[in-house]
Structure 1
Amino acid sequence: MRMKRQVVAVVAALTVVSGCTVAVGGSASPVPGQGPIVKAVDACTLLDATQLDALGYQAEGRSVPENKKQVQTPMCLWNTKDDVEPSAILNVGYTTDLDFTEYIAGAVPKSEPQQIGGFSWTQYPSLLADDCVFYAILGDKSFAYVSVSEPPLDKSCELAKTVIPQVAAHLPGGRQAPSITPTGSAKAAPGGPLLSADPCAMLKPDQVAQLKNISPTGEKDTSSSVPNASYCLWDDTDGDQGQKAFEVWFGPSTPAGDWPGTQGVTPTETVDVGGKKWGVFPNLGGLRVTCGATLPITGTSSVQVVSGFIGDDTKTCDLVKQGLPLVTANLPS
């Protein structure tokens, strides 16, 4: 199976510390009788140093050349910076000389296509349990992919979706990359009314009772992936299928467009609640069963509501939309 070969190659390259390949000056010329020389692809050029720093990855990646015998694309791998959590491995591949159908070897898509950065990206399965990978077909024998592994799968998909528009900007015909709020000390300082507010106060007991299959009491926690963010989770009560938990997230230093899974993605719908306009994102982070809605509070802070539904795609955003008026009424002024 082709994908298994790819996984073996990726696993062998997961200790990512060395730099990209070195470019050699001059231009290649064809050898008489052998036709034109195909220019080698260096996938490490699909992200620049500024993008990598803002995304939280080390500047030096490891370039892995094409291996036609194993049907392997050129690819580049980066580790997250030492002070970034959760730690992850980013893998970006790009080829102009490989048939996608042969490469994917009959694998069935895991998601509907997502329009990001001027291309249609589709999630496919991986043999690594924590690896989330999206592919974009660019032309005849040309495609690219972005994958993130090591965090839990849903978090890997969120991180991959954050990277995709930055990679797309370096592909032929890609759109300009959206701005990224840098990680670490360069990120905006937390502030505004969310800084001292409690996300669990965004639903009163009588309001929680209006949300079907949700526990009456929420649990507060802090985020390990979004700096300064906290959230309250009301767990679902209907088992592994059906309704997902209801979450309210506070980002005192997170603009509305910077939540994982929303970067570079246009909301499919805007819900107006008393003049406050929530952007709604079905398939949040590439996950068909998850829906999110974001609302700016200030220019550098925002609120996000997340839930979903397993087993019926038509209900993915139902609880989110039902909860938006309840949450809005309790937001700090």
Structure 2
Amino acid sequence: MRFRNSLAIGLAVLTLGGCTSTIAGTASPVPGQGPVITKAEPCALLTQEQAEALGVTYPGKERPADKARKVPGTCRFSELEDAPDGVALEVAQSFELSQGEYLNGALPGEKFGIGGYTWTRYATILGPAYCSLITELDPKTFVEITSDAPGTDESKACDMAKAAAPAVASHLPNGQPSPPLTPPPGQKPIEPAGPLVSVDPCSLLKPEQVTPLNLAAARPMNGSSRDPKNGCQWDDTDGDKGKKPLDLWVYTATKLEDVPGLEGTPVEQVVAGKKWVVYSSPDSPICVAMLPVTETSSVKIDTGDLSDNAKACEIPQAVMPLLTANVPAA
């Protein structure tokens, strides 16, 4: 997942053009009151439990402060590998570096009252797809939380930073205890669910149903990623050319649009009352057909014809009615 280098690499901060809307919350503690910060420990501002709740890795990876460049110590908590729309989170904490020195005169923008502190957003030279929330602890100490937008939706740039702010604030002087944390949608991997969870892929086509298709006996296959966990293959029996093997994969934690290998023009086809989506191209010998069962579970069949592209979908068209009857209903 691409992620910007945070403000902690010394990039300048730009004004937000006077945006000053405020979300109701508790005002910041008066700078200078409360326990004194004697050193910066940005990686200590999230516990393992909090990181797991937010859907980021733990422990974080720390980058030391660079006093000459006016860069605070920063901790990066990467997104989980299988999160569909995950983003990384960075937390910076200064020591003997003031917020004013760091921001270099930038004007404050939108404010959020979270966890007993007022967090102010500042625009960065990297644009609205990135979010920087900063709060001042005392004249020589501040904390910054940064995140970016998943995909191209710039309106979600601050979602992760705001989700983490209660946890970070709970570790600051006079900060409020953190409530249960809610990560932004897509930040954590989808949990396997639905009627396909316990299905053996090789059981979805019976031997007598495969015999007329001139395919070999079923052979289990292991998935190379978290989802699907397994699949099934019926090998072709006509040599190196002609029909390809029929591969069947069961997905239980993947949205249809995130299933790999869906190339060609998608065409919806209703078979026995169930909607299939068939992917093929006149220039390709491959034909893929998907049967969505729930929003995050589906059955995928993948085969083709190496001698005649026009015949690539012959086996899928023969198999689709069989699978429609054999696949458990949602």
Same fold (TM over 0.5): no
Which structure is larger by alpha-carbon Rg, 1 or 2?
Answer: 2
TM-score by length of 1: 0.44
TM-score by length of 2: 0.44
